[in-house]
Amino acid sequence: MVSNEQRRRQLAREKFERQQQRREAQRRKARNRNALIAAGLAVLIAAGGTAVAAGALGGDDKKDDKASADATPSELPTPSKGPDPCAKPAAGSPAKKTWKSEPAMTVDTSASYTMDLKTTCGSIDLKLDAAKAPHTVNSLNFLAGQGYFDHTKCHRLTGEAAGIYVLQCGDPQGTGAGGPGYTLAEENLKSELLQEPKDEQLKQAKMKIYPAGTIAMAKTQQPHSTGSQFFLVYKDSPLQPDYTPVGTIGAEGRKTLDKIAKAGIQGGAPDGPPNATVVVDKATVAKS
C-alpha cells in the first residue's frame, strides 16, 4: 500500500518532470526565435537611429505572454543581476560638439593603430585595422583626439536572451541615439574576421558570426549610417554582415568585458543598460 509520503513524493516528481518538459520546450522555442530575431536584429544603433530592437526583441507573441502569466513564480526566469564591479566615474561630462562632415583623412593606412579605453571597470585595449577600415579608424582617431568619447557611458549590454553578446558604447547622450553629426560608409564587410555560422537557419538568413574579441561599428538599418557608436563582442554573435569590423580586443579588454557581462543587465532584460556602471573616463588612439 502506498503511504501518503510516497504519494506526495510521486506527485512532486511528476510535477518536476512536467516543469522540466515545459522549460525544455520553451528553450527550444527561444532558440528558434533568437535565430530569427538575430536575422533581423537592429540592436546596434548609430546616430539618429530608432530603437527598433526593443520591438524586435519584445515581438508580438501573445501566446508567450499568456504562458508567462500562467507559469508559477518558480518557473519564471530569474533576472540576471550581479553587484556593480566598477568604480566611480572621473569628474567631467560628455562632449556635445558635432561636425557637419567627415574629418579629413590623416591616418597612415600602412601603420598600426591602437585604441585604449580607460573605463570605470578597467582598461579595454583595442587594435584597429587602418588598412581595411581607413575611414572608420580615421574617424575614431579624430573623435578620440577631440575628447568626444571621454565621460561617455556604455549604454547597452546584450546577452543570452537576445541571441547576441555585445557591449555598445560611443554615444555621448548615453541613449543610443547620439552621434557626431556625420556618418560614414560601412567598410571591411568581407573581413576574414567574420565567420560562417554552423546553424542552417543562420546560414539561410545570410548571417555571419562576429567572433568574441571583435570591435565593430554600430549603425541603423540604412547604408552609410556608421557614426561614433561601436560595439564590443564578448561572445560569438550572429549578425547580418552590415557592421564595419574595425579591429580586435586585447586580453585585458576581454577580461574587462567578461566582468561587465557577468554583472548582468538591468532588470534581467534581453538587452539594456548594464548593471555595471561602465563609463569611458578617457579614450585615446595612438599610432604604433
Q: Exposure of 103 by Cβ count < 10 A (0-12 exposed, 13-18 middle, 19+ buried)? A: middle
State how far the Cα of 158 lies from the Cα of 260, in Å rounded to an integer: 11
Q: What is the pLDDT of residue 75?
A: 40
CA distance 131 to 274: 33
| Contact (CB, 8 A) for 241 and 216 | no
By the 10 Å C-beta count (0-12 exposed, 13-18 middle, 19+ buried), 111 is classed as: exposed
Phi, psi of 214 (to 5 degrees): -100, 140
Q: Where are the domains of the chain?
A: 4-287
What are the pLDDT digits (tens) for 77-111? 444 556 899 999 999 999 989 999 999 999 999 99
54 pLDDT band (50/70/90 cuts)?
very low
Q: What is the pLDDT of residue 185?
A: 98
- Strands (E) in 160-256, as ranges, are 166-169, 208-210, 214-217, 230-233, 237-239, 245-249
Displacement of CA 177 from its chain's centroid (Å): 15
Residue 43 has pLDDT above 50, yes or no: no
The answer on pLDDT for 281 being more than 50 is: yes
Q: Which residues sit opposite 217 in a β-bridge? A: 230
What was the pLDDT predicted at 205?
95
- The average confidence (pLDDT) of the chain is 83
User: Is 113 in contact with 107 (CB distance < 8 Å)?
Assistant: yes
Contact 172, 140 (CB under 8 A): no
pLDDT of 184-242, one tens digit each?
A: 999 999 999 999 999 999 999 999 999 999 999 999 999 999 999 999 999 999 999 99
For the whole model, what pTM was predicted?
Answer: 0.77
d(CA 251, CA 247): 13
Distance CA(189)–CA(178), nearest Å, equals: 23
Contact 47, 228 (CB under 8 A): yes
Query: What is the reported pLDDT for 83?
Result: 80
CA distance 165 to 20: 26
User: Considering only CA atoms, which of 253, 229, 243, 234 is closest in space to residue 114?
Assistant: 253
202 residue type, one letter: L
Quick one: pLDDT at residue 275? 97
pLDDT of residue 84: 92
Asked if the 4-287 domain carries CATH number 3.40.50.2020, the reply is no
Quick one: how far is CA 118 from the chain centroid?
Answer: 19
**49 vs 221: CA distance, rounded Å:** 8
Percent of the chain, pLDDT > 90? 70
pLDDT at 23 over 70: no
26 backbone dihedrals φ, ψ, rounded to 5°? -65, -40
List CB contacts of 192: < 8 A, sequence separation 6 or more: none
